[in-house]
Amino acid sequence: MKPMSGAEKGKLWGGRFTKAPDPVFDRFSASLRWDVRLLAYDLLIDRAQTKALKACGVLNAREASRLISAIDRIDRDRRAGRLVIDPSAEDVHTLVQNELSRVCGPLADKIHTGRSRNDLVSQSSRLYCKEQAGALYGALTQLMTVIVAAAERYRNVLLPGMTHLQNAQVLHLSHILLSYVEMIDRSREQYVTAVEYADVCVLGSGALAGTTFAIDQRLIARELKLSRVTTNSYDVSGDRDHVLQLVYACALTGTHLSRIAEDLMIGQTRPYGIYDIDASLCTGSSMMPQKKNADSAELIRGASGVLQAQLAGVLSVLKGLPTSYNRDLQWDKSFLFTAVETARDVVEVMTRIFATLRVREERAARLLDDESLYATDLADLLVRKGVPFKDAHRKVGRMVLEAESLGCALSALPAAVTRQIAPEIKPGEMAALFGPERSVRLKRTAGSTHPDRVRREIDRWKQQLRRTSGRV
């Protein structure tokens, strides 16, 4: 046999090479600097693989137990932060293989029987995605719980709801807060799908065709707590939809939270000022001593751009790629890790913002001075008196215009003007109609801002969050 070439040393694939890799290419090809995050998952896989190899007779009992002890030892060192990571390893899979060789010698060479890095990386990234999707699901549940608590705390606060950033109609602040919960719940749902995509045993697929060894995939699935076994080995090696789905979930979370962050920032601008974001989540200015800026919310808004970029990254790596494994796929993980780590930070910081958010109720009350908030209620009153809605809309529109040009509130329009535009309105009727509590009580539909509905929604969410918290 020819002696081991320089190319073979430390690589999992060197046999047919006589030349060592070009050093610049070698560095370019290496992914350890990011995929080292898969170390714990690779070790879990190696434990399961060892048991499967024993079950099909590739390893005898003694060999299997020596390998398991070696894996346990590496894992103990990893947990204790004692494991010295050899930076020259090509990727995390090579690192683990080399570590195993260091700890238990030539026996380690048997562990890669019936598998390829193609199914290994596919499995390892699935375990990572499953765990992280579950953790993000939990973090979002926590965020939703904190927002529902704020909705409950401020359940009596009314304020102008806006469209186009202009005053529109009176709302319960809780109604707005619960709309955030609805939105976040849609993000949260994406993590359930992410878990589903990841929750499959793909080992035994080998490079693309399966393996000649009778690897018990159900045994591996049980060991790794996975609910099913793949039905197509060729799909496994090139499929990264679990990565795509999780990164999409992160991107959607980012987009949702950035919209909420924007609401918070508008809500705390000085002239408006209904929100007081806790000082521990703000920073100051190096020049202007008075400044207290809501940087936490701004960074969340900005992070949504980072998260979207990761999604675009994974999509572009996959676009037009031939099916099955191609080395391009290695890039997916740098997007995946950035997305997951950024999303985790974003959700945690937002949770802290809501946990400490104070609402300046007196400012909210002052903002309700604007009677144009009742214009729609007034048009509805006219409809109740038999005026077709389009007519009613026009009449109230004219009243608003008159009030604007006279510089007075709607209810202070001269009686003659009101009588001329809308003779259906009886004197005093407007004043009786106008009022924030009245306005919200007039709303009758499901999902409206009627106080009884809002109250019920707070309770429903409290129950639902308790029920769904451990779902994945």
Site for ligand ARG, rule CB under 6 A: 31, 35, 91, 117-118, 121, 325, 327, 329-330
Q: Are 347 and 134 in contact (CB under 8 A)?
A: no
Catalytic annotation on 304? no
Q: Are 413 and 428 in contact (CB under 8 A)?
A: no
241 or 295: CB nearest ligand ARG: 241
DSSP 252-293: HHHHHHHHHHHHHHHHHSTTT--EE--GGG-B--SS-TT--B
d(CA 82, CA 212): 38
**What sign has the CA pseudo-torsion 213, 330, 31, 231?**
negative
Least CB distance to ligand ARG at residue 205 (A): 13
CA angle 313, 317, 322 (to 5 degrees): 165
Least CB distance to ligand ARG at residue 451 (A): 55
Amino acid at 158: L
124 or 268: CB nearest ligand ARG: 124
Least CB distance to ligand ARG at residue 117 (A): 4
Q: Give counts: helices (H), strands (E), the chain.
A: 19, 6
Least CB distance to ligand ARG at residue 239 (A): 12
Least CB distance to ligand ARG at residue 153 (A): 47
Least CB distance to ligand ARG at residue 337 (A): 12
128 or 191: CB nearest ligand ARG: 128
Alpha-helical (H) ranges within 287-388 are 295-318, 332-356, 361-367, 375-384
Q: Which two tokens stand for residue 311?
A: 């999604």
201-to-103, 245, 352, 452 alpha-carbon distances in Å = 27, 18, 37, 49
Closest to 244 measured CA to CA, from 314, 294, 159, 186: 314
DSSP 158-208: EEEEEETTEEEEEEEHHHHHHHHHHHHHHHHHHHHHHHHHH-EE-TT-TTT
CA angle 362, 368, 369 (to 5 degrees): 105
35 or 46: CB nearest ligand ARG: 35
Phi, psi of 182 (to 5 degrees): -60, -45
- Of 164, 280, 286, 405, the catalytic one is 164
Catalytic annotation on 164? yes
Closest to 358 measured CA to CA, from 157, 184, 185: 157
120 or 399: CB nearest ligand ARG: 120
132 or 190: CB nearest ligand ARG: 132
66 alpha carbon, distance to own chain's centre: 41
From the CB of residue 380, how many other CB atoms can be counted at a distance below 10 Å? 16
- Of 65, 285, 316, 469, the catalytic one is 285
Least CB distance to ligand ARG at residue 329 (A): 5
326 or 469: CB nearest ligand ARG: 326
Catalytically annotated residues:
164, 285
